[in-house]
Amino acid sequence: MGPEPSLFFSYAIDANVVFGFVGIAILLFCSALISGAEVALFSLLQKDIDEIVQKNNSK
């Protein structure tokens, strides 16, 4: 009999594969964060920008 399938797959995954998946997940998270900030910045209206500037000047 061969090894259990779960044990077979644990041998196929080495440290490089794990580090690769973790790296891709981190880069994907950073990309989503930057894309969200870009959408938020470019969706501001001039009225919103003026309110923020006025609020910061009153402090």
How many DSSP H helices and E strands does the chain contain? 3, 0
Domain ranges across the chain = 5-58
- Condensed to tens digits (0 to 9), the pLDDT of residues 17-56 reads 899 999 999 999 999 999 999 999 999 899 999 999 999 9
Report angle CA 32, 15, 11 to the nearest 5 degrees.
120
* 8 has a pLDDT exceeding 80: no
Report angle CA 17, 21, 22 to the nearest 5 degrees.
115
Residues 6+ away with beta carbon under 8 Å from 2: 8
What is the pTM assigned to this prediction?
0.61
